[in-house]
Chain A
Amino acid sequence: MTRFACLAFVTVIAPSIAFAQTALPAVGPERPFAPAARVERTLPNGLRVIATRYATVPKVTAMLSIQSGLAVDPAEKAGLAQFVVDLAQEGTTTRPSEQLKREVFAMGANLSGFAGQDASTFQIRGLNSTLPQMLALLADVVRNPTFPQAEFDLLKARSAQQLQAQAASPQYVNNKLFRQTLFGTHPYARIGATPETLPAIDRASIVSYQQTYYRPNNAFLVVVGDIAPEAVFAAAEQAFSGWERRALPESNRAALPSLNGRTLVFVQRPNSVQSSISVGNFTPQRDDARWYTLQLANQIFGAAFDSRLVRNIREEKGYTYSPGSIFQSMQQGGLYRAVADVRNDVTGATLKEIYFEIDRMRNGAPEAEELGDAKQYSRGLFVLQNATQTGFANTLNTVNTFNLPKDYPETFQKQISQPSAEAVQTGAQMLLGSQNSVVVIVGDYTKVKDQLSGFTNVKFFDLNGRPIEEPK
């Protein structure tokens, strides 16, 4: 049909739509977000099981979270927790590695594991009809791993090669050096094994870690999917009830260090065509009541696409494609990192703009409209994040790892809507350090050094994280 005919049609039926609609439609009232109800029970051995029926598709996600991660690794064996997670999936008393993996595939499921700072989490996702088999397999992995020597040797060889590959990634190296600089000797400095610790990680320490920390009284199981909670409990009891509880060693975490002034760490990467930049500092721990004010400050500063930092260094200046604002709260403190990968010749200019925006956040409260938008955005994002089974399971994992109130999913919307502009400014001052902060640049120092005046405390490292002299 031609445009003419189209106009004729609409003129008769509804004159108003003959013209382009130029008026922005208002957003209607928010529809209520009612998170799916949880049912929680504790097995006699202490394993907490949290089950939620969420029938988006006929699948189910199960997460088993061991409440110990990289932070309890012995310092000389940093990265051990990830080895335990990986190697536990390489064979049990009744399932050799290949059989285990074939069983997962046969069910149409995916099994994975990840060791973070505070927890080691295994996830299996598959068809809802297979939940009993999925949980049986998951239980076998955490309860009965045999850590075969041949599998350990293979994993170690692959890890050694992977460390070399990772040293070529500017983003990986930046993250590693940032945490190392910020946390120093505190265990939160770790993100995995290093060339120094890898040789020290042996099979005996893997066995000992699993025996010590993989205990039902140090774990919880979250199951979200198209399945009734009663069926979840029946399957969980079957799979986990024989798991023996054991008292855990006392944890005596070191205190977090503090920042004093601005430190610049430069990681020399010859031939780099960009500088990979991080600017950041410490933040409070996850269960701090002020977390919502920091979260809002983070959205306004740089986490949202339409935020101050993105507008400035991307949409106005075109310095970078990928500015980011990373706010990670842990059980004991947390960290903040503003990140950007920029072409060499705007390295100094980017640092200047990042600090300009940091200072602007610290020195003035956000406008009412900006804050209102950030609240609305945060409320919506929470709905989106919890609209899938795995998304909701992640939220429940967070609630239980950081001891947040059980009604966190129900109260988030209200909590994030409350902080005043002044409270968010105070939050920004905790989120974004200015005088006391760490800068990490991974790049080619010989090409950008003239842009780095103003830093008195500068340290140089190679891509393996070893100190070096100032590159010439």
Chain B
Amino acid sequence: MRFLSALAVLLLFVTAPVPAQTFTVPVEYFTLDNGLKVVVSTDRSAPVVLVEVIYNIGFRVEPKGRTGFAHLFEHMMFQGSANVKKMEHVSLIQEAGGVVNGSTRFDYTNYFESVPSNGLERALFLEADRMRSLDVTPENLKNQQNVVSEEVRVNVLNQPHGAFDWIEIWERANTNWHNAHDFYGKLNELEAATLEDVRAFFKTYYAPNNAVLVVAGDAAAADVNWLAEKYFGSIPRQPQPRPADLSEPPQTAPKSFTRSDKLARTPALAVAWHLPPRFTKDFFALSVLDPLLNSDDSARMYRKLVRGDRLAMSSQGGFNFLGSNWDMKGPMLYTMRVDYFNDKTADQVVAAIESVLDEVRKNGITATELAQAKTTIRSSFLDDLEGGGLPLFGRANLLGVFALFDNDPSRINTILGELDKVTLDEVKAAAAKWFVPNNRTSIDSRPAAKPSAGGGR
């Protein structure tokens, strides 16, 4: 119960928030001579390990004129290296009973193997081989340009509303190219990528001193230590890449856009607000407010938009559609997507959203809500520590991000303590500062053809 504020404890009898049992993640942390950071979290609850290499390069910093390149490059990392042929990385992990994948995010790119723990050494060998000696042929580049183009088609170009709520909203809300470009990629720019681009990107960003190796699960730190030295120790470091200027000037007036969609049959609205920088007082305050606004169908937005005013079929929102509050370093957006009824308008939805926010700006939240939000965050954080798609993936990724961005993976055990300190006044003040019309961008996406009658109320 230590995380509850005194005020909240006084109000426990109303709807008692529940104290979460303290759960401490074991963290061992060391750095190889070539600069590779290594984090180990031993957990023997199942005979599996999660091996992850996380690189300090996300799609914000891909080359101009090469939108989508950071992600295309991620695909190239599966196309072979000095001792591993194309697709062999995948087959060698499958032979060890495991699965492998990678993902490109705003501020990092990760590669991971989820394997029964007897496959640990093989996973480390494979990750080291590609970090040392990526080897891409023109045929393999062409092949993956085709595959990624199909990925953009299936996830964006052939979907109703495209990516208006998770890519276009970034392009509209931001002004700095790094934050405001199409990070999945324009097809012609994906097509334009060359082997030279691949080699340069690899040399610049895929160096041991720009990466973190994480092993979580059924493995001892001492074993990971010598295995990391054995496989990664002699990979040469590279000059540290110059950090890009990601700063985003403050927004001073509301922005709203409309788009017409040939594939959609119902309307939808995307809304975004710029967020305070990571780990500031306002950031933690809004992290606590987030579940009260948008976690589930008990949250204020759902209650207003779907239940109360019956404007929308569904409403969802949060910090980061591609991750969480914890895994972004550069400027962030709080985004919402509201699929509203055919006979309603975007203006009505925006007005309803503003009325929800206005209530928080004026009156804040209740002490009970504050305590419950903290309980919910703690509970879902435990899900990340256990799973996150693959066993221990969420844990490994958090450890990797905290090592990469903060040189402090043990933050995984203290970060919720920062949320516990958040007070009612801080939530109200942060909402009044950030969730305001002048900081808002919206896109109304409507079917090109008029939707048929019915369905609305």
Query: B-contacting residues of A (Cβ < 8 Å)?
Result: 1-3, 5-7, 9-10, 17-22, 24-33, 54-59, 97-98, 101-110, 125-130, 153-154, 157-158, 160-165, 167-170, 269-274, 276, 304-306, 311, 314-322, 341-343, 373, 376-377, 379-381, 383-384, 386-391, 463
Q: Which residue on chain B has the smallest CB distance to residue A29?
A: B118
Nearest Cβ in chain A — how far from B451, in angstroms? 7
A168 pairs with B99, CB closer than 8 A: no
A-B contact sample (6 more), CB < 8 A, given A104-B298, A154-B307:
A57-B383, A108-B17, A276-B158, A380-B96, A380-B115, A386-B46
**Inter-chain contacts of A24 with B (CB < 8 A):** 83, 92, 122, 125
B100 pairs with A31, CB closer than 8 A: no
| Contact A57 B23, CB 8 Å, known A105-B376, A318-B150, A341-B158 | yes
Q: Which residue on chain B has the smallest CB distance to residue A378?
A: B97
Query: A-contacting residues of B (Cβ < 8 Å)?
Result: 15-21, 23, 33-34, 43, 45-48, 82-83, 86-87, 90-92, 94-100, 114-119, 121-122, 125, 128-129, 132-133, 142-151, 153-155, 157-160, 218, 229-231, 233-237, 262-266, 291, 295-299, 303, 306-307, 310, 313-314, 339, 341-342, 368, 372, 375-376, 378-380, 382-383, 385-387, 390-392, 451-452, 454-457
A105 pairs with B94, CB closer than 8 A: no
**Inter-chain contacts of B132 with A (CB < 8 A):** 20
A445–B116 alpha-carbon span in the complex (Å): 46
A30–B94 alpha-carbon span in the complex (Å): 14
A9–B125 alpha-carbon span in the complex (Å): 21
Nearest Cβ in chain B — how far from A92, in angstroms? 15
A280–B386 alpha-carbon span in the complex (Å): 36
A161 pairs with B118, CB closer than 8 A: no
Q: List 23 interface pairs A-B (beta carbons < 8 Å), by A numbering.
A: A5-B33, A7-B234, A19-B234, A22-B82, A24-B92, A57-B23, A104-B296, A125-B383, A129-B18, A130-B18, A164-B455, A165-B313, A168-B160, A304-B94, A305-B100, A315-B87, A317-B146, A318-B146, A321-B150, A379-B116, A381-B99, A387-B48, A463-B265
A373 pairs with B95, CB closer than 8 A: yes
A321 pairs with B46, CB closer than 8 A: no
Nearest Cβ in chain B — how far from A410, in angstroms? 15
A383 pairs with B48, CB closer than 8 A: yes
Q: Which of A10, A165, A320 has the most chain B CB atoms closer than 10 A to its own CB?
A: A165
| Contact A31 B382, CB 8 Å, known A157-B341, A305-B90 | no
**Inter-chain contacts of A170 with B (CB < 8 A):** 158
**Inter-chain contacts of B117 with A (CB < 8 A):** 31
Partner of B263, one of A101, A271, A317: A271
Q: Please list the 4 inter-chain residue pairs (A to B) with the smallest Cβ-Cβ separation, ordered nearest first.
A: A380-B97, A318-B146, A108-B379, A321-B151
Partner of B143, one of A101, A125, A316: A316
A322 pairs with B151, CB closer than 8 A: yes
Nearest Cβ in chain A — how far from B365, in angstroms? 13
A305 pairs with B99, CB closer than 8 A: yes
| Contact A379 B97, CB 8 Å, known A108-B379, A127-B379, A168-B265 | yes
Q: Which residue on chain B has the smallest CB distance to residue A101?
A: B298
A158 pairs with B306, CB closer than 8 A: yes
| Contact A380 B91, CB 8 Å, known A56-B386, A59-B379, A161-B456 | no
A44–B381 alpha-carbon span in the complex (Å): 38
**Inter-chain contacts of B155 with A (CB < 8 A):** 321
Nearest Cβ in chain A — how far from B94, in angstroms? 4
| Contact A169 B159, CB 8 Å, known A316-B143, A377-B95, A388-B387 | yes
B20 pairs with A274, CB closer than 8 A: no
Partner of A161, one of B143, B266, B299: B266
A273–B83 alpha-carbon span in the complex (Å): 38
A127 pairs with B20, CB closer than 8 A: yes
**Inter-chain contacts of B98 with A (CB < 8 A):** 380, 384
Q: Which residue on chain B has the smallest CB distance to residue A34?
A: B47
Nearest Cβ in chain A — how far from B316, in angstroms? 14
Q: Which residue on chain B has the smallest CB distance to residue A35?
A: B46
Partner of B296, one of A18, A25, A30, A110: A110
| Contact A18 B341, CB 8 Å, known A105-B298, A128-B21, A320-B147 | no
| Contact A318 B147, CB 8 Å, known A106-B375, A271-B262 | yes
Q: Which residue on chain A has the smallest CB distance to residue B159?
A: A169
A379–B118 alpha-carbon span in the complex (Å): 13
A276–B132 alpha-carbon span in the complex (Å): 39
